[in-house]
Amino acid sequence: MKASSEAVAESLGSRGVKVNPYPPLEEALYINVEGPFEIGLLEKKVMVDKFTAESVLQGAHVYAPGIIKCRGLRRGDRVTILDDRNGAVAVGIAVMDEREILRLRKGLAVLVVRSLYKVPSLREAPEYLKGWIYPQSMPAMVTSRVLDPRPGDVIADLNCAPGGKTSHISQLTGDRALIYAMDRTARKVEATRETLNRLGCRNVHIFIQDSRYVHLDHPELRVDKCIVDPPCSALGVTPKVYENTEHSKVKALSDYQKQFIKAAAEILKPGGAMTYSVCTITPEECEGVVEYAVKNCDLAVAPQNLTLGDKGISDYSEDAKYLQRFHPHIHGVGYFIAKFIKV
């Protein structure tokens, strides 16, 4: 890590950003979210897509690719930012006009000055640009701790983008583990590379790979530990402006996730450890995948060395007491973690 938690807290505090230590994770700091606040409807409005609206609620500004409508917008206009169902999420000041937004389709378009929730925009902070911080949810940090990476380990991250867990395990081992980080597109791999470079992480080999087939494409690969954090329905991600995921999509995602588990089990050495995590709450993607892994992949559920959430749902898994669930209404985010040992 480039800076200690104390140094980061002092630096942020000097600019008026209040952060707090989080004793269960010595490398973590947390920020209290304030709100909700009243957002008025102004004459000028900018409509953004769902992802952008939810990013604004987390402290982001509005960038051109996320804008759906901005009719008559001029630089300097004070605008209400709407989600794509006309819900007001923030007030901002335009720094691009309509023509620039539609022509360029990139760059900062609206500077947010007031949001439903007050959260500092960390990605523009000097500490972020220096590689001192990486914004991440508490359960995601717990996942890396549960894996218990050690110096000298050979570790594979099958779903590495955008690099949060890859960089965390690299830092936890003092850059003394050999990490293979893979994802299926050049864009995702490049995002991971940028994260690792910014944070100063080394000893990571990054490559493009549909990791469902890593055991077939790289039959020689054997690892001590493995992270599986596959695409999911993301129903646990907060805040949300709305949600309309259908059950058929959840079922398809569960089947998809099982393919990563199977591939990971193939490259894991006997006695090796694997974490499976998803930012969702559906039994099909959580306990259902665990049951598949135990019955089909020579994996046994293992106790977790750090438990900050609740147990799994016993109706769906015989090993529920060893699983870890986080609930949006209790922990602020929905998340699931399982740990396996290769038998």
Catalytic residue set: 279
> What is the enclosing helix (H) or strand (E) of 54?
helix 50-57
**CA-to-CA distance for 157 and 192, rounded, in angstroms?**
11
**Residue where the block lists tokens 């389709």:** 105
CA 308 from chain centre, in angstroms, equals 18
State the greatest distance between any 2 C-alpha atoms of the chain, in Å, as a whole number.
Answer: 64
Phi and psi at residue 80, to the nearest 5°:
-90, 130
Residue 33 contacts by C-beta under 8 Å, 6 or more apart in sequence?
117, 118, 119
**Residue where the block lists tokens 């046994």:** 300
User: Which amino acid belongs to residue 129?
Assistant: L
Answer whether 101's CB lies under 8 Å from 79's CB.
Answer: no
The pair of structure tokens assigned to 259 is 């393919």
- Say if strands 78-82 and 88-94 run parallel, antiparallel, or are unpaired: antiparallel
End-to-end CA distance of the chain: 34
**Residue where the block lists tokens 């994996």:** 299
The pair of structure tokens assigned to 217 is 């494409």
The pair of structure tokens assigned to 139 is 């359960």
Residue 272 contacts by C-beta under 8 Å, 6 or more apart in sequence?
223, 224, 225, 226, 341, 342
> What is the enclosing helix (H) or strand (E) of 269?
strand 268-278
